[in-house]
Structure 1
Amino acid sequence: MMEGVHPMASEAHPTLLPDSACLHLVCLQAFPRRITAVVATTFPQAQCPVCLHSSEKVHSRYTRLVADLPWMGWAVQLDLHTRRFFCQNPECSRRIFTERLPTVVAPYARRTNRLTDVFTLIGFALGGEAGKRLVAGMGLSSSPDTLLRLIERAPETAHATPRVLGVDDWSFRRGRKFGTILIDLEKRIPIELLPDREASSLAKWLQEHPGVEIISRDRGGSYADGATLGAPQAQQVADRWHILKNLGEALEGFFISKKSHLKAAMLDPTGVATNPSPLQESPMGNTRRLEEVSRERHQEKVEMYRKIHELHAKKVHQGIIAQLVGTSRQTVTRYIHMDQPPERRTPRRTRTHLLEPFKPYLIERWNDGCRNASELYREIVKRGYAASMSNVSRFLKNLRTTKGKPRGFKQVEPTPEAIATKKDAQVRRPPTALQVARWMSFTEEQRLDWQNAYLIRLCEADPIIAQTFSLIQDFATMLRERQGERLDTWLKQVESQEVAELKNFARGLQKDYDAVKAGLTLSWSQGPVEGHVHRLKLLKRQMYGKASFETLRKRVLQCS
């Protein structure tokens, strides 16, 4: 059998009967939604389960009803005619024993071994409730608890001690109860789940499994302590993504203190608020890479549209078109009925604001000289507006900032300088401090054009921000290109500058110096670990409150 293939997916059961070597089909009996196969054993002798002595002397016969694999949604039942034998060993304590069929059914079982294997696979894949529904669709019946018991009884697979170990925590109950997942980073498989995230638990596991050479972890102190206690010889590696995340969080306070500069940078040198294009709506900003991916996918759809219409014009059947193009038949039908290729969707859509339909009217009234938010609110309520007046107040505040007096609320005479357009009303909120810190860690190619222009204005407005931006870029480059040998030089540069938040971040790196330098040098990361944590969460949520630690552990480790 091929490695990694379950017995039920192999050629271990190529015949109608579970084991044609020991069973003989007598007849088939059909009932409503059920088929009964009458089968009899064929071996001339049987082995005593106590003394293992073979016997040919039959005592009596009896029948067992055993559920087997369904046939096309019809339940199948084996009416198994088997025998009892006399044990002819005078020293054996058992005088009569029943015939054992280890390749067909376990003693006292009501299901064949192969049906139990299928139920076990369903339990591992779907859990209790969802597994029960699938079993019912197959024409069988089983309770959720039965499927969970099969998971608990399944044998565990022994794993060799990994050379490179990934460690991370996961939440069994969000904010209250946590566990630890251990991943073999070379094989990218989970090897153990621990019931907590204490340093002592990790240290104990490492002591019981000597031989770990590299331990990848986040910046959490408990895992650093546990790795030091359990495997002091192992090289600890701090995850690069977490290091960069810590840098952004550390600088959030600094950029909060520069809030006035963040707002001022939203205006270009002429004093007009900058407005990104419609494809750049999110303040977090779609990166240039996401924009390029969106365009590439759209081009693939256009090319698919062209091929489908060419084949359809040649009278090719839709099913064949789907096979040639590599898509579903439903997609082929939808594209055939399109008059033109599908339009490209924006990478991130924003919902329509409640005030949006009334903005043209508000701009018209502004240009007439009305500056009173309460009066305009009453007017648009009569036109169908159903939200609060605060939206109207914020809208007029933006217009006062660009086209009027900041504190002007009285009716005025219209002037050419105060005429507003829809573009003037689309003033964006400045990005948050955390967003600016995140943008500064991007490469220029990853940022959108308006984000690059914003950061240039921000650095020109404050030399300390410009210096901080340079240090962030230098650190991010060192992290991406794994230039750990430059870490000492960067730490010295940070100590000579003025930003206290950046100094505190650098001192935190010095406390975990060896692991951070290894993270900036070696290729290992927490990527595979985070992927298995996401899978663990999916399995946990499938189990509808019955996810005991042992059951969840079995399901998580089963993929390995």
Structure 2
Amino acid sequence: MDRGLGLADIMRELRLNRHTVRKFMRASSVDEILIHGPSGRTGVLDAHADYVARRWDEGCTRAHILHAELADRGVHVSLRTVQRLLHRMRECGAPAPQSLAPKPRQVSALILTPPDLLPEPDRALLKELGTRCPDLAHLQALVEEFAEMLVHRQGDEKLDGWLNSAKLSGIPELRHFADGLSRDVEAVRAGLTMPWSSGVVEGHVNRIKMLKRQMFDRAGHRLLRHRILLA
């Protein structure tokens, strides 16, 4: 309409039928299209229109994610209903989100990368994510503390305190990790304190396993022994 196109031109360009285009042209606001269904009656999502619009602005444009979030809020609605709502939002020209939320793998990479090696945009993004999600900021702090303990061999001094903080963090994955370390805490403490490492032994073990896989069902132990010794 802003370009001076008529009804027929809009139908042809947007590939919509006459009834849909006329309905959009007569609507006084976007909410009039979003809240009311094709029949003009209010739907089950009317009371949650503000939440849906806010999540759209935050980058949540996938129906299955929004459907799961609504279910957590106690809204019993079908996935198809959510898909129709998002389709109407796109048809009526709802502004596209400025930026999509980063993927879990991307956030993990940001947290696990040493802060000094992060470019400035990534540092800003990580700071913003921590501001929006306190649990993520807490997780980042614990990961950095563990990395410092690992690099500087401070397990004898800080391991017990770190395990307690991890178990009380309220983050299930971190709590499970801490429980696993606690089952063999003395070995973990030694690994985070002493300068010796079993890395060389593990390397030889992996090399022998590789040779065994290469010779599987092709030769006996005698040839395997020769290959290991000669290598």
Q: Is the 8 A contact 1:440 1:469 kept in 2?
A: yes
Indicate if the aligned counterparts of 2:181 and 2:188 stay in contact, CA closer than 8 A. yes
Partner residue in 1 for 2:128: 457
Flag the 1:519–1:370 CA change in 2: closer, same or farther, 3 A: farther
**1:517 alignment partner AA:** R
2:190 to 518, 542, 545: 518
Q: 1:461 to 1:525 in 2, by over 3 A?
A: same
| Distance (Å, rounded) in 1 between the aligned partners of 2:204 and 2:130 | 40
Q: For residues 497 and 400 of structure 1, what CA distance do their matches in structure 2 show?
A: 27
* Match of residue 479 from structure 1: 150
Change (3 A) 1:539 1:503: closer
Distance 1:521 1:545, change over 3 A: same
1:528 aligns with 2:200: yes
C-alpha change, 1:507 and 1:411, in structure 2 (3 Å) is closer
CA distance in 1, matches of 2:121, 2:173: 27
Within the candidate set 136, 140, 149, 1:469 is matched to: 140
Equivalent residues of 1:371, 1:409 under 8 A apart: no
> Counterpart amino acid of 1:466?
A
Which residue type is aligned with residue 446 of structure 1? L
Distance 1:461 1:543 in 2: 54
The separation in 1 between residues aligned to 2:100 and 2:228, in whole angstroms, is: 46
User: In 2, are the aligned partners of 1:471 and 1:494 still within 8 Å (CA)?
Assistant: yes
Q: Which has the higher helix share?
A: 2
**Are the structure 2 counterparts of residues 495 and 549 from structure 1 closer, same or farther at C-alpha, using a change threshold of 3 Å?**
same
Q: 1:487 Cα shift? A: 0.8
The one-letter code sitting in structure 1 at the alignment partner of 2:111 is M
The one-letter code sitting in structure 1 at the alignment partner of 2:112 is S
What amino acid is aligned across from residue 160 of structure 2 in structure 1?
D
Pairwise CA RMSD: 3.8
Distance 1:503 1:555, change over 3 A: same
Q: Aligned partners of 1:535 and 1:491: how far apart in 2?
A: 34
- Equivalence map 1:60-75=2 (5 Å): none
Equivalence for 2:114:
443
Mapping 1:147-546, distance limit 5 Å: 370=14, 406-407=86-87, 408=89, 410=91, 430-432=102-104, 436-484=107-155, 485-536=157-208, 538-540=210-212, 542-543=214-215, 545-546=217-218
C-alpha contact (below 8 Å) 1:370/1:411 kept by paired residues: no
> CA offset at residue 462 of structure 1?
1.2
Instruction: Kindly provide the amino acid, as one letter, of the partner of residue 546 in structure 1.
Output: R
How far does residue 512 in structure 1 lie from its aligned partner after superposition? Answer: 0.5
Aligned-pair CA distance for 1:517: 0.3
Give 3-state SS (helix, strand or coil) of 1:478's partner. helix
CA distance in 2 between partners of 1:411 and 1:400 (Å): 17
Q: State how 1:124-143 maps to structure 2 within 5 Å.
A: none
Q: Which residue of 2 aligns with 1:111?
A: none
Query: Structure 1: where are the runs of 5+ without partners?
Result: 1-367, 373-398, 419-423
Q: Summarize deviations over 1:421-469 as a string: whole Å, max 9, x none.
A: xxx8xx7783235x53454233112334443333212111111221121
SS of residue in 1 equivalent to 2:122: helix
The 1:476–1:541 alpha-carbon spacing in structure 2 relative to 1, beyond 3 Å, is same
Query: Helix, strand or coil: the match of 2:102?
Result: coil
Runs of 4+ in structure 1 over 6 Å off: none
* Distance in 1 separating the partners of 2:136 and 2:178: 17
Per-residue Cα deviation, 1:101-133 (whole angstroms, up to 9, x for no partner): xxxxxxxxxxxxxxxxxxxxxxxxxxxxxxxxx
Residue pair 1:487, 1:517 contacting (<8 A) in 2 also:
yes
The amino acid of 2:178's aligned partner reads A
For residues 135 and 15 of structure 2, what CA distance do their matches in structure 1 show?
A: 40
Write the distance in 2 (CA, Å) between the matches of 1:557 and 1:444: 44
Between the two proteins, what is the percent identity of the paired residues?
38
Pick closer, same or farther for the CA change 1:490–1:551 going to 2, 3 Å: same
* 1:15-62 per-position Cα deviation (integer Å, ceiling 9, x unaligned): xxxxxxxxxxxxxxxxxxxxxxxxxxxxxxxxxxxxxxxxxxxxxxxx
Evaluate the alpha carbon distance shift between residue 516 and residue 369 of structure 1 in structure 2; reply closer, same or farther with a 3 A threshold.
Answer: farther
- In the TM superposition, what whole-angstrom CA distance separates every residue of 1:137-183 from its partner, at most 9, and x where no partner exists? xxxxxxxxxxxxxxxxxxxxxxxxxxxxxxxxxxxxxxxxxxxxxxx
CA distance in 1, matches of 2:128, 2:200: 39
Paired residues, number: 151
- Alpha-carbon distance in structure 2 between the residues aligned to 1:550 and 1:541: 15
Cα offset, 1:541, TM superposition: 5.2
Partner of 1:108: none
Q: Secondary structure at the match of 1:445?
A: helix
Cα deviation code 1:525-554 (max 9, x no counterpart): 343244334533553455474143443243
Output one character per residue of 1:331-377: Cα deviation in whole Å (capped at 9) or x when no partner.
xxxxxxxxxxxxxxxxxxxxxxxxxxxxxxxxxxxxx96488xxxxx
Asked whether 1:555 is paired with 2:227, we answer: yes
Partner SS state of residue 188, structure 2: helix
